[in-house]
């Protein structure tokens, strides 16, 4: 057998690299695998499966991020209200109904991930670009 990249020595080196990677991924002081989901039932179910699979490999999940939550960003972070448009659950029937759907998914997610830090990031009217909206997202992800 050859000792080149595809030979025994190459395979042994690859095995060593994989072991180092596994050790790093399993170290909660060096890894915080963040599950990112949206507040819908299917996403909650898939996130639960992902968490269980990561647990089976010993990979720590410390944080769950719920993205695109239809709520006022000021409710989840201390931010300037002039930086965003908040949803109106009273005058917008669609917003009110989506909020009800999201509430059920959020309640289920809070129960499933109660041993994790759960952070909410609101749904913005536009894509997150620029310093102001990035600050809002950062504030939502900060430890409180």
pLDDT of residue 134: 87
Q: Which of 45, 39, 41 is nearest to 66 (CA)?
A: 39
Alpha carbons 33 and 139: distance in angstroms, whole number: 19
Burial class (CB in 10 A: 0-12, 13-18, 19+), 45: middle
CATH number of 32-141: 3.40.50.300
- The reported pLDDT for the residue numbered 5 is 62
Walk along the chain (144 residues) and give the pLDDT tens digit of each residue.
Answer: 456 666 888 888 999 999 999 999 899 888 889 999 999 999 999 999 999 999 999 999 999 999 999 887 777 667 666 666 777 778 888 888 999 999 999 999 999 999 999 999 988 878 888 888 888 888 888 876
Instruction: Supply the DSSP symbol for 7.
Output: S
| Per-residue pLDDT, 89 | 78
Give the pLDDT confidence score for residue 9 in this predicted structure.
Answer: 87
| CB-side neighbour CA atoms (13 Å) of 29 | 0
How many helices (H) and strands (E) would you count in the chain?
4, 3
- What are the boundaries of each domain within the chain? 1-27, 32-141
Distances in Å between the Cα of 6 and the Cα atoms of 2, 15, 18 are 7, 12, 16
């Amino acid at each position: 057998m050859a000792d080149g990249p595809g030979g025994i020595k190459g395979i042994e080196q690859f095995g060593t690299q994989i072991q180092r990677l596994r050790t790093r991924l399993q170290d909660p002081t060096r890894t915080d695998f963040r599950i990112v989901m949206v507040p819908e039932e299917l996403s909650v179910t898939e996130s639960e499966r992902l968490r269980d699979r990561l647990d089976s490999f010993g990979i720590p999940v410390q944080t769950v991020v719920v993205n695109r939550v239809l709520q006022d960003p000021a409710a989840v972070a201390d931010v300037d209200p002039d930086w965003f448009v908040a949803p109106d659950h009273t005058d917008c029937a669609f917003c009110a109904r989506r909020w009800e759907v999201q509430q059920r998914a959020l309640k289920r997610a809070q129960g499933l991930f109660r041993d994790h830090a759960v952070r909410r990031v609101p749904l913005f009217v536009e894509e997150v670009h620029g310093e102001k909206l990035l600050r809002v997202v950062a504030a939502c992800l900060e430890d409180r």
